[in-house]
């Protein structure tokens, strides 16, 4: 029996996690679930999974949460605020934490779980992109086990040898990590029409059903860029160790290429419950409720290289990865502001990458040695990005 906390339970990953957990009532006990804004959904979830604590991220939502908790005759205790998020992520009773808050808001609660030495099921890629070495060092110090939930990194994890040594590809006879991505909804759209793209079009991913921020990131391929950086930190890779491969069907979730000519791939239907179940059950395999791949009806698998003109954000992120921590922290912050502005119809689709690039160009790379500094860099980059949004 594992006791778990789900940070960001009301989101796409959070809901899929609760779905897998509900299939295994004898294996998992829910300690706490957290959410932001969708209070009624959170209360219903707490009721269904018998969470001991329900946490709303903002104190503004506390009264509403209490009222609804009474209305639903909830037995969970209701808490609110940033500190409470960190507490339920690090409480001694908790074995594993699903880190599935979106964006920089996930950094501190995820780090609290890492520092407390939990098994951390990492979906919140932004926290690792923002804090890189600090995050990994904190895990080494506390003994926290980081299990990748992002489907590509989960696939790579599954394709690596069991005795893989962090950062040492040569020792395992690995020549390349092949990071696959579908190319999103605009892989073939006429480039001249990109300025007219609407939030609804950008959020309509052909293969995956996800939250709005990551959906836009998938459409610009910033998501693949963030994943490139995420892979470097998770496995100790250098940028040259990774090749990004377009694979529109999202059947292969990533691959590891070995020096003897072998390539090991992980395949499956595009359903996040597979990597989530892998993380929850690890090292055991548990039922995820995912339909098996049907090789009788499987369509062609195709591959190509992403075009730089179509996906400038991907290449900005790879450059930032080469530049170092301060650049990736700033890029992540700028991108969050730009994507939010796009989703609120304040800027056009092509402006996202322009703002990201302009923010990066405003600053010189600096060494990063504390989380305090990460938060400061994040704040500065957001201010510059917001000013650029104002300009339109």
List residues binding ligand NAD (CB under 6 A). 8-14, 35-37, 57, 100-102, 105, 123-126, 150, 208, 210-211, 213-214, 272
For residue 311, whether the previous peptide bond is cis, meaning omega lies within 30 degrees of 0, is no
Q: What is the phi/psi pair of residue 188, to 5°?
A: -120, 5
Answer with the entry of ligand NAD, Mg ion, none that 11 interacts with (C-beta below 5 to 8 A by kind). Answer: ligand NAD
Closest distance between ligand NAD and the C-beta of residue 107, in Å?
10
Nearer to ligand NAD, 11 or 268 (CB): 11
DSSP letter at 124 equals -
d(CA 272, CA 10): 15
Determine whether the annotation assigns residue 82 to a binding site.
Answer: no
Minimum CB distance to ligand NAD smaller for 100 or for 313: 100
**Least distance in angstroms from the C-beta of 227 to Mg ion:** 5
Residue 152 annotated as binding site: yes
DSSP state of 288: -
Quick check: 336 binds Mg ion (CB under 5 A)?
A: no
Site membership for Mg ion, residue 150 (CB under 5 A): yes
Chain residue whose CB lies nearest ligand NAD: 11
| CA 384/CA 216 separation, integer angstroms | 21
Residue 214 contact, options Mg ion, ligand NAD, none, Cβ 5-8 Å cut-off depending on partner type: ligand NAD
User: What is d(CA 30, CA 20) in angstroms, rounded to the nearest whole number?
Assistant: 12
Burial of 290 (0-12, 13-18, 19+ CB in 10 A): middle
- C-alpha 129/C-alpha 231 separation (Å) is 9
Stretch that binds Mg ion, among 27-35, 146-154, 189-197, 259-267 (CB under 5 A): 146-154
Nearer to Mg ion, 80 or 151 (CB): 151
| Alpha-carbon span 276 to 147, nearest angstrom | 10
**Pairwise CA distance, residues 24 & 61, whole Å:** 31
Q: Binding-site residues, please?
A: 10-13, 37, 124-126, 150-152, 182, 205, 211, 218, 223-224, 227
Residues that bind Mg ion (CB under 5 A): 150-152
């Amino acid at each position: 029996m594992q006791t778990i906390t789900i940070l960001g339970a009301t989101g796409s990953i959070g809901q899929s996690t609760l779905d897998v957990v509900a299939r295994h009532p004898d294996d998992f006990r829910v300690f706490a679930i957290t959410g932001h804004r969708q209070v009624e959904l959170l209360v219903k979830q707490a009721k269904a999974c018998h969470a001991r604590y329900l946490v709303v991220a903002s104190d503004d939502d506390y009264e509403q949460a209490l009222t609804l908790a009474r209305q639903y005759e909830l037995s969970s205790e209701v808490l609110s605020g940033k500190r409470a998020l960190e507490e339920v992520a690090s409480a001694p009773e908790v074995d594993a934490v699903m880190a599935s808050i979106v964006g920089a808001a996930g950094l501190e609660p995820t780090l609290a779980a890492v520092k407390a030495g939990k098994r951390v099921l990492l979906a919140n890629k932004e926290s690792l992109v923002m804090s890189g070495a600090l995050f990994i060092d904190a895990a080494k110090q506390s003994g926290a086990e980081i299990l990748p939930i992002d489907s590509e990194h989960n696939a790579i994890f599954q394709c690596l040898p069991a005795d893989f040594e962090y950062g040492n590809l040569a020792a395992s006879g690995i020549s390349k990590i092949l990071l696959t991505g579908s190319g999103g909804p605009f892989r073939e759209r006429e480039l001249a029409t990109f300025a007219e793209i609407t939030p609804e079009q950008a959020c309509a991913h052909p293969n995956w059903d996800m939250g709005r921020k990551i959906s836009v990131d998938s459409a610009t391929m910033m998501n693949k860029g963030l994943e490139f950086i995420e892979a470097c930190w998770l496995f100790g890779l250098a940028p040259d160790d990774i090749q990004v491969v377009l694979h529109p069907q999202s059947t292969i979730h990533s691959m590891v290429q070995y020096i003897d000519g072998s390539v090991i791939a992980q395949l499956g239907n595009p359903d996040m419950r597979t990597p989530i179940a892998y993380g929850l059950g690890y090292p055991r395999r548990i039922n995820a409720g995912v339909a098996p791949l049907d090789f009788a009806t499987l369509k062609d698998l195709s591959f190509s290289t992403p075009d730089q003109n179509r996906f400038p954000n991907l290449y900005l992120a790879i450059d930032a990865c080469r530049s170092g921590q301060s650049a990736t922290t700033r890029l992540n912050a700028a991108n969050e502001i730009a994507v939010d502005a796009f989703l609120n119809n304040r800027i056009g689709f092509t402006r996202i990458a322009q703002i990201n690039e302009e923010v990066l160009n405003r600053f010189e790379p600096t060494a990063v040695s504390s989380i305090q500094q990460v938060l400061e860099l994040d704040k500065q980059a957001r201010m510059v990005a917001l000013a650029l949004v104002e300009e339109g």
